[in-house]
A and B are shown apart, each in its own frame.
Chain A
Amino acid sequence: GAGVSQSPRYKVAKRGQDVALRCDPISGHVSLFWYQQALGQGPEFLTYFQNEAQLDKSGLPSDRFFAERPEGSVSTLKIQRTQQEDSAVYLCASSLETTGWRSNEKLFFGSGTQLSVL
């Protein structure tokens, strides 16, 4: 596709429900990131994939959060037993190459999924 696509655009869940958020990165992009953006805050890193390998999940706030990218393209972020504090915009980003602290790749962001937990 032309850009990073995320679905659904909006998700309302009752507390305790499980949710699954989908990210379709740009075709051929190796790196994929998930970020969480709470209202009025900057995005915070959740997890990073290089192809199908989850290389960094240090930002996942609890074991209720789980992400996968089984075939190295589409990724799903799953949140089990949602809590009100999970309400946020979840952003997905991808880049063509592998990332590293001295790499110069460009990151492309999706429009995000706004999750509201009631």
Chain B
Amino acid sequence: AQSVTQLGSHVSVSEGALVLLRCNYSSSVPPYLFWYVQYPNQGLQLLLKYTSAATLVKGINGFEAEFKKSETSFHLTKPSAHMSDAAEYFCAVKGNTGKLIFGQGTTLQVKP
């Protein structure tokens, strides 16, 4: 069975600072991993995905994530936070029936 754990339900950074959102996965097979962002009153939007190609994945809005098998991690980073990055972020793994299994989410707050 597959699962993901997001460490930290709330992360607060200053504008211009590094963003680091943590995600660890559990999977008995090579995983497909995703990061989604959810802005208030909007649907989930795909930021990036890992599908066993390059371990460093670049996504939209300057975000990237690195797949580390040895650490079973897929942390999301952005070098410099913008106010517009404030949102809820979800890590997800694809289950063996094709459905996405989401983490609990991390709320990113960006302070001016």
Is B55 part of the contact surface with A, judged by Cβ < 8 Å? no
Query: Number of A residues whose C-beta is below 8 Å from B?
Result: 28
Secondary structure at chain A's binding surface: helix, strand, loop or mixed?
loop
Q: Which of B58-66, B68-76, B78-86, B94-102 contacts A (4 or more CB under 8 A)?
A: B94-102
**A62 contacts the other chain (CB 8 A):** no
From known contacts A104-B51, A109-B44, A110-B43, infer whether A45 and B100 are also in contact, taking CB-CB under 8 Å. Answer: yes
Contact A101 B104, beta carbon cutoff 8 Å: no
- Surface stretch bound by B, among A36-44, A64-72, A77-85: A36-44
Q: Which residue of A lies closest to B41 (CB)?
A: A111
A contact residues vs B (CB 8 Å cutoff):
3-4, 31, 33, 40-45, 48, 56, 59, 91, 93, 99-104, 106-112
A42/B43 in contact, CB under 8 A: no
Residue of B42, B45, B102 touching A43 (CB-CB under 8 A): B102
Q: Is the CB of B105 within 8 A of A101?
A: no
User: CB-CB contacts of B20-32 with A at 8 A, as 1s and 0s?
Assistant: 0000000001001
* Distance from B13 Cβ to chain A, minimum over Cβ atoms (Å): 20
